[in-house]
Structure 1
Amino acid sequence: MTTPPHSFANVPPPAPLRVVVADDNPVVRAGLTALLTGREDITVVAEAADGREACEAARAHRPDVILLDVRMPGVDGISALPYLVRISSVLMLTYSRESEIVQEALRRGAGGYLVHGEFTADQLVSAVRDIGEGRPHFTPTAAGALLSQLRQDPRPPRTLPEGLGNARATNPQTNGLDLPHISPPSTSAENLSRMQPDMARSSSGWAGGRPAAPDRSRHRLSTREAEIMDLIASGMTNQQIAATCFISEKTVKNHINRIFAKLHSTSRSEAAAKWLGTAPGPGRGVG
């Protein structure tokens, strides 16, 4: 008796997600490209240094996802957004954490918003895949901005199903509706983590729904050391850092040794926690 052929045996694998990386910092562009190029299901088809180049690359390559920085010379990311979203899904990937910028980016059609320092390399890849499939993705700062916007405009949507949102809690002695006490939703990082469990992981530095930027000046890292520390915090290996910065792995190790000494750290995870401002206990932020 012969075994019937599997119905999916001849189905080809899905085509890789086509991605454009737009950032004015060549080190960041190279780092992102190196991270994404190593994935079988993602292909970086072009890079862009500003919004105008991003639009040209989008028209030429018709990508599935565009990674877009906010602050770029010439045409910035916010200005380019309305044009880019007509062609592709857009994921903001930036150091800009201001609530107003997050909200405006989402109003103009961005499908997600990631702030550097709030995600690992694997989480970035997951976010790109999610955006490519139409699922939004946010890091804690962006999630906090969304909550802030909702609280500033507490009016219910105009299209609620009939009967919802109209009941009133009144004194039961007047035969009115008696609703149990319901506490308002918490703005803690724990609740935000439930919204995006893969991305909103850090509970440190939160105040009013958004994390405070860590003070990195105290660490006294050089410009090159700071660049390498950013790449370490993003999850890059020494080999990836060397390729991104066009230096040897031995030079990378020398930089890391000096970084660890300045951050009083003995591991990459400890150094990253201090660099990102998420180190627990009295040693937090010590450099």
Structure 2
Amino acid sequence: MRDMTSSLQPATGDAPLHVAQISGVLFATLNRPDRRNALTDDIVAALDVECERVANDDSVRAFVLRGAGGTFCAGGDFGGFKALMREPAPATGRDPIAIYNRRFGALLEKLAALPVPTLAVIEGAAIGGGCGLAAACDRVIMAADAHLSMPETTLGLPPAQIAPFIIARAGVSRGRWLMLTGQRLSAAEALYAGLVDETSSPGGIDALLQSELARVLAAEPAAQRATKRIVADAGIRERSLVLDAAAADFATALRSGNVNEGLAALAAKRAPTWQIAQPALPETP
């Protein structure tokens, strides 16, 4: 696949999300460094659009989420909430604050449901909603000098939309305690808690990302999409139905010809045609 760069908005310093696609990997960089990449309305909207595009674009093989300016994400932006708080709660129907809050949860659901491998790259800090973004990804890597926290309860709020994604990663007991206390975690502590999968030395995060992407791009894309589908189904459907659908996916893969290429490459001790050994990274804004 040829290298390409694409953006739904001009890839300038003013775009809330910088988007680049290289060798099938879509890199989405939160681009509000002056606000530590807080989750402003424009960032959430841009991420939502990108998730929709990735879900419907077979040319995308992986999705990488990171932040500009050395910080992953400082969490929610209270500007929108403050405007809504000036108005009293409605006598009937859903509170507009609840509707506004739920939009972020819908974004996390879309991110978690993407059909390709997803990676979050934490530098600097991941706070509140930033932890939710990372937890919704398949793989989370973190610079050794970064930290994360979920301080919502210390501010008088529940971690409403991120909680299901945190406990899915860290487990119920550990995730619940971390959210109840708002404890700040170092990279080593986040790794132990299960919120992070790998850590790098300071300055080594790009090398670690390239190593992770090389593993992703060594696997056949359709097989990866089928694997994500099977795993997602396993959490919500009856086991026998999951196995029936998985058998159909297996048959489709076996008849596709990709297996022949994989076996031929193994026998010849060469890389299969889909493998990209050294994925390039775009410049971070």
Whether the TM-score (by the shorter chain) exceeds 0.5 is: no
Give the structure with the higher percent helix.
Answer: 2
Q: TM-score, normalised by structure 2?
A: 0.29
Q: Which one has a bigger Cα radius of gyration? A: 1
